[in-house]
Amino acid sequence: MNHFVSYVIATLFAIAMISCAGPSSSDADSDEIPKIEVTEEDNAEDNDFLYALPSPLQIASIFRRSGLIYIPDMTNNPDKVSNYNTKLIQKLNFGVYAADLAYSALNDKNQECIDYVKALSQLSESLWMTNVFSSVSILDRFEENLGNPDSLGYIIADFQMELDSYLEENGLSANSLVIFSGAWIESMHLAFKSLEGNPNPKLFGRIVEQRKIADNLIEILKKEDDDAELNMLIAHLEKISNHFASFNLDNIEEIEELESLTMSEEDINSAIADIDEARNFIING
C-alpha cells in the first residue's frame, strides 16, 4: 500500500508541474478509458485487497481533453491555509490544494501555482512532512524552472523518491488516502462547476466514470480505525457516489458509450449540492 499511496500524492504534483509546460503529445493523442484494477495480495492477517486507483495525473488529463474550462475563483484560497488546525482537515486540504495546483497549472496560472506550492509547504509542516519538501528544495526549484519540462521532470522524480521513502518509513498510508480524498472531491467540484451552463456530454461521461474511484476509495477507508471525522468523510463520499449509482459502467468499453450518458439538470444540481457540502466540510475547517 505504501508505494501506491506515495504514487498518488506524487502524481498530484506531477499534474501541476508537467502541465505548467503545456500538454504533451502523448496526452493529446491518447484517449483510452482507464481501467481500475483490483488485485488480491496474500496477507497472513486478513487477506485484504489492494485497490489500484488511477493516478490523479490520468484523471486530470482526461478532464482536460474532455473540455474542462477554467473558471476564476473556483479554487480554495491559499491564504486560508493557517485556518486548518485538526490533522484530518489539514490532510484533506493538502489534497484540495494539490488539486487546485493542478487546475491552476493546467490553465497557465503561474502565480497561482506558486501560491499553492507555498500553501502545501506550510501544511507539510503541520503534517510532519517538511523534510520531504526541503530535501528536494521543491519551491525554489519550481519557481526557477516554470516552463522547463525537462527540469520539472527531475524535480518530480526527486520528490517522488523522497516521498516514497518517507511514507514507507513512517507508515502513513492512511494519511495518504485521506489526502487523496480531498484532492478527488476538489477535482469533482471543479469538473461539475465547468458543466454549469455549459453542457458537455464528453466531460459528463468522464465525471460519471469517477464513481469507480469513489467506490474503491470508500471501501479502503472503511478498513481504517473507527473515527467520527473519518466516518463523516466516508459519508460525504458515499453521497457523491450515489448520484451515479444508476449508471452501469461495468460493460462500457468505448468512449462514445460514456458520452451517451445523461443526467437531468435537477440531478446535476443535486450532485453539485452534495459535492459542495463535502467540500465545505473540508475547506471551512
Average pLDDT over residues 142-169: 63
Q: Which of 195-209, 243-257, 266-280 has the lowest mean pLDDT?
A: 243-257
Residue 173 has pLDDT above 90, yes or no: no
Helix (H), strand (E) at residue 40: strand 37-40
The pLDDT of residue 168: 65
Average pLDDT over residues 223-244: 91
The pLDDT of residue 135: 66
Taking the C-alpha atoms of residue 217 and residue 212, their distance in angstroms, rounded to an integer, is 9
The C-alpha cell 528544495 sits at 137
The pLDDT of residue 159: 62
The C-alpha cell 477535482 sits at 187
The pLDDT of residue 17: 43
Amino acid sitting at position 193: K
All residues at 6 or more sequence positions from 52 whose CB lies less than 8 Å from its CB, including other chains: 4, 36, 37, 38, 39
pLDDT digits (tens, 9 = 90+) for 60-71: 666 777 888 888
- 173, three cell numbers: 498510508
User: How many other C-beta atoms can be found within 10 angstroms of the C-beta atom of residue 267?
Assistant: 13
pLDDT digits (tens, 9 = 90+) for 73-94: 999 999 999 999 999 999 999 8
User: How many other C-beta atoms can be found within 10 angstroms of the C-beta atom of residue 284?
Assistant: 11
What is this structure's pTM?
0.79
User: How many other C-beta atoms can be found within 10 angstroms of the C-beta atom of residue 153?
Assistant: 15
87 or 52, which is more confident: 87
179 or 47, which is more confident: 179
Hey, which of 155-164, 174-183, 249-258 has the most confident mean pLDDT?
A: 174-183
CB-side neighbour CA atoms (13 Å) of 141: 18
The pLDDT of residue 78: 97
Domain count for the chain:
1
Q: Give the distance, in angstroms, between the CA of residue 236 and the centroid of all CA atoms in the same chain.
A: 16
User: Could you list the residue range(s) of the whole structural domain that residue 252 is in?
Assistant: 2-283
Taking the C-alpha atoms of residue 221 and residue 177, their distance in angstroms, rounded to an integer, is 7
The pLDDT of residue 270: 93
Residue 284 has pLDDT above 50, yes or no: yes
